[in-house]
Amino acid sequence: MLSLEFIPSLLKGLEVTVLLTAAGALASVPMALAAALAKMSGYRLLRWIASTYVEVFRGTSALVQLFWFYFVLPLMGLRLEAFTVGVIVLALNTGAYGAEVVRGAVTAVPRSQREAALALNFSPRQTMWRIILPQALQAILPPAGNLMIELLKNTALVSFITITDLTFSAQILRAETLRTGEIFGAVLLMYFAVALAITACVRGLERWLARRHGSVAA
Amino acid sequence: MIAFDWQYAWRVLPELGRGLVVTIEATVLGMLLAVSFGLALALMRRAQSRIIAWPAAAFVEFVRSTPLLVQLYFLFYVLPDAGLRMSPLATGVLALGLHYATYCSEVYRAGLEGIPKEQWEAATALNLGPWRTMVAVILPQAIPPVIPALGNYLIAMFKDTPLLSAITVLEMLQRAKIVSAESFRYVEPLTIVGLAFLLVSLIAAIPVRRLERNLRTPGA
Amino acid sequence: MSIIQMKGVKKRYGALEVLRGVDLEVPAGQTLCIIGSSGSGKSTLLRLLMTLERPDAGEIHIAGEPLWTMQRNGRTVAAGARHLRHMRAKVGMVFQHFNLFPHMSVLRNMTEAPTHVLGIDAADAEARAIELLRKVGLQDKARVYPAQLSGGQRQRVAIARALAMRPEIMLFDEITSALDPELIGEVLHLLQDLSREGSITMLIVTHHMRFAQRSADRVLFLDGGVILEDGPPDQVFGAPREERTRHFLAAVLEE
């Protein structure tokens, strides 16, 4: 009943999707960190820039962002591959949500840690990078895992700008074979599998971190 | 830099405005479906019988973790084959509603878990049936605290409506694409659409944040 | 010359005036115990010295240098970040809730600051850390994480960590208040040993009166934001001059 000759073509699309997700995730980390640190900095201009970035990318539709960058960047003289545009927009979008996650986690680190660092005469930068951020990491992981799943779902949008990801491949196959139910069913299962893998990884990371430090206040 | 043709922008505004109406229509209808079906899903997951609880849980996990776009295509192409002919807008509303129902069900679940066991026990002691217990005792306490979270999902759904352009629904982005294709000018329509989303999101966030604050102070 | 000089120091939090004019001179090497009821400003006094708080009025000098002002081009200006870090290097503090870094092993807690703040070579820092751990009796806990230690052990590590920075002044802010009773002794013992060495100036906020009587060179009674009683332990505990001191001691020794 279920013939699976379309699976190999789908797998090629899956590869693109996974690459997009991985690249987008990696690129979103510095974005989230930079925006969060900027929002907490003492310079008003930095705070303003970061706030604007976060509000704009969280307040607008990811698809619209993709379109805008895809069509407007060439007009500004930047001719980039569609894949690159996809990664950039996905990273910017995820980074904006990530910034709020980082900020929440950093402010949750007890003030006493900052005081201890000050008493030992660490500089503000040393305090943030050596003392605060490592501790914030534990609170960042669970929401970050959810953001990664959101990122995975958003990669489907790049099919609109002709990147041959899993969704785009599915559409091509559908046009060729008209076997929609099986194709899209398989596609949904593939996305689900990747989502489960991401969740498993994040949970593994959470457990490793908890084992190393314990959540007891020292 | 790019030149922004204000005259052209002004000219296309009415057409994009018509798209905004469709966008809002889709959001409102989709949300109505999401909050009601979401509640049903949440209640099903809490059911004693595993035949009800397990499929509901599987549905929620599966739909939550997979792209709305693919679910949209699935419904658009598969439903007619199964004999259900719906307009693109109706299909879009169905997809949005089902997808966001899973998010809402998680929100409801959190609200329901927050009700102390004693409330259920008191209702049982007064011999209220399960329906009355739910309607008169549990839900009035469970739902208000989660309204801000539902509000946030309403805004999120609004931002997801451009996906409906994939199945030819004439919402904002689709009209922007049509207009741009005719005139070969993309910057103005896309920027307007982007700003429209931003504005509506920011404005809609105000009552949601106020609700959050009001609900946080008494209990916390 | 006194290593600590405070003149007319005032500090308020909102409408609450916690320190209402404190004058204090502490000679180097002295062990000074500060007693008083809660809210009398004892912790605030230490936190001002550690630059965790800023005084609203008055002057503080550490080792002859002003804490909150500095000289620039011959003029006196408000202290900049570099001046504060220079001054902070002379002071170390141990907190009520230990404040160890939970994501670092005991050894790393002790070597992180010496390596990255003082620029000490990693091997030297580690050697010194182990030496200090031996001094506090925890040399076999070097690779352990704070979560696996008892409260008393954590506090001893906190003391060793502060000592690793070789400060001239050590501040102890009610360091036994968060400990279970049976763990208090080991920490007080350590304080006593440190005090006997005499090389570091120690300011200890405490409510352990017997400890203060035995180990302190001098006792301060802080009440209502001012120093009410100031003298050797025998005098403050045995023959207090002020009525309020007598009142406080009577209430405390009741326990």
Note the pLDDT tens digit of each residue in C157-166.
Answer: 999 999 999 9
Check if the beta carbon of residue C252 is closer than 8 Å to that of residue C66. no
Residues of C in contact with A115 (CB under 8 A): 52, 95, 99
Chains A, B: CB pairs < 8 Å = 113
Q: Which sequence spans correspond to the domains of chain A?
A: 7-212
Q: Is the pLDDT of residue B3 over 80?
A: no
Contact C146 A122 (CB under 8 A): no
Name which of C99, C117, C146 is nearest A112 (Cβ-Cβ). Answer: C99
β-pairing, C31-35 with C218-223? parallel
Can you list the domains of chain C with their CATH numbers? 2-253 (3.40.50.300)
Name which of A119, A121, A217 is nearest C102 (Cβ-Cβ). Answer: A217
CATH superfamily of A7-212: MetI-like (1.10.3720.10)
Q: What is the DSSP string of A185-215?
A: HHHHHHHHHHHHHHHHHHHHHHHHHHHHH-S
Q: Is the pLDDT of residue B174 over 80?
A: yes
Q: What is the pLDDT of residue B160?
A: 92
Confidence band, pLDDT 50/70/90 cuts, at residue B41: very high
Contact B173 A156 (CB under 8 A): no
Residues with Cβ < 8 Å from A60, sequence gap 6 or more?
B159, B194, B197, B198, B201
Q: Is the pLDDT of residue C173 over 90?
A: yes
**C13 phi, psi to nearest 5 deg:** -115, 105
Contact A76 B78 (CB under 8 A): no
Q: Is the pLDDT of residue A177 over 90?
A: no
CA A163/CA B94 separation, integer angstroms: 27
Contact B70 A61 (CB under 8 A): no
Whether the CB of A213 is below 8 Å from some CB of chain C: the reply is yes
Other C-beta atoms closer than 10 Å to the C-beta of A33 total 17
Question: What's the 3-state SS for chain B?
Answer: CCCCCHHHHHHHHHHHHHHHHHHHHHHHHHHHHHHHHHHHHHHHHCCCCHHHHHHHHHHHHHHHHCCHHHHHHHHHHHHHHCCCCCCHHHHHHHHHHHHHHHHHHHHHHHHHHCCCHHHHHHHHHCCCCHHHHHHHHHHHHHHHHHHHHHHHHHHHHHHHHHHHHHHCCCCHHHHHHHHHHHHCCCHHHHHHHHHHHHHHHHHHHHHHHHHHHHHHHHHC
Amino acid at C192: Q
| Per-residue pLDDT tens over the stretch C118-148 | 999 999 999 999 999 999 999 999 999 998 9
Residues with Cβ < 8 Å from B129, sequence gap 6 or more?
none
Q: Is the pLDDT of residue B219 over 50?
A: no
CA C48/CA C55 separation, integer angstroms: 7
Q: What is the pLDDT of residue A179?
A: 74
| Per-residue pLDDT tens over the stretch C229-253 | 999 999 999 888 888 898 898 888 7
Name which of A113, A118, A218 is nearest C147 (Cβ-Cβ). Answer: A218
Question: What is the chain C residue with the closest CA to A212?
Answer: C103
| Per-residue pLDDT tens over the stretch C91-108 | 999 999 999 998 899 999
Q: Is the pLDDT of residue A215 over 60?
A: no
Question: What's the 3-state SS for B137-173?
Answer: HHHHHHHHHHHHHHHHHHHHHHHHHHHHHHHCCCCHH
Confidence band, pLDDT 50/70/90 cuts, at residue B28: very high
Confidence band, pLDDT 50/70/90 cuts, at residue B220: very low
Name which of A56, A67, A167 is nearest B67 (Cβ-Cβ). Answer: A167
The chain-wide mean pLDDT, for chain C, equals 91
Confidence band, pLDDT 50/70/90 cuts, at residue B92: very high
| Per-residue pLDDT tens over the stretch B17-27 | 888 999 999 99
Alpha carbon of residue A42 to chain centroid? 27
- The alpha helices in chain C, defined as continuous H runs, are 42-49, 81-88, 106-116, 122-135, 151-163, 181-197, 209-215, 233, 243-253
Contact C99 A123 (CB under 8 A): no
CA C143/CA C150 separation, integer angstroms: 15
| Per-residue pLDDT tens over the stretch B187-211 | 888 888 888 888 888 888 888 888 8
Buried b / exposed e along C222-237 (16+ C-beta atoms within 10 A)? bbebebbbbbebeebb
Question: What is the chain A residue with the closest CA to C46?
Answer: A119
3-state secondary structure of C27: strand
Whether the CB of C11 is below 8 Å from some CB of chain A: the reply is no
Q: What is the pLDDT of residue B47?
A: 86
3-state secondary structure of C233: helix
Contact C100 A215 (CB under 8 A): no
ipTM: 0.84
Q: What is the pLDDT of residue A91?
A: 96
Residues of A in contact with B186 (CB under 8 A): 71-72, 75
Name which of A212, A215, A218 is nearest C101 (Cβ-Cβ). Answer: A218
CA A102/CA A92 separation, integer angstroms: 15
CA B25/CA A209 separation, integer angstroms: 46
The chain-wide mean pLDDT, for chain A, equals 89
Residue from C99, C100, C112, C173 whose CB has the most chain A CBs within 10 Å, to mutate: C99
Other C-beta atoms closer than 10 Å to the C-beta of C183 total 17
Residue from C43, C47, C101 whose CB has the most chain A CBs within 10 Å, to mutate: C101
Please give the average per-residue pLDDT across C20-27, as a whole number.
94
Whether the CB of A62 is below 8 Å from some CB of chain B: the reply is yes
Can you list the domains of chain B with their CATH numbers? 6-219 (1.10.3720.10)
Residues with Cβ < 8 Å from A121, sequence gap 6 or more?
C85, C88, C89, C113, C117, C165
Q: Is the pLDDT of residue A187 over 50?
A: yes
CA B56/CA B62 separation, integer angstroms: 10
Residues of A in contact with C100 (CB under 8 A): 116, 218
Question: What is the chain B residue with the closest CA to A166?
Answer: B70
Please give the average per-residue pLDDT across B95-116, as a whole number.
91
β-pairing, C169-173 with C91-94? parallel
Q: Is the pLDDT of residue A86 over 50?
A: yes
| Per-residue pLDDT tens over the stretch C187-228 | 999 999 999 988 899 999 998 888 999 999 999 999 989 999
Instruction: For chain A, positions 121-150, list CB contacts with chain C under 8 A.
Output: 121-123, 126, 130-131, 134-135
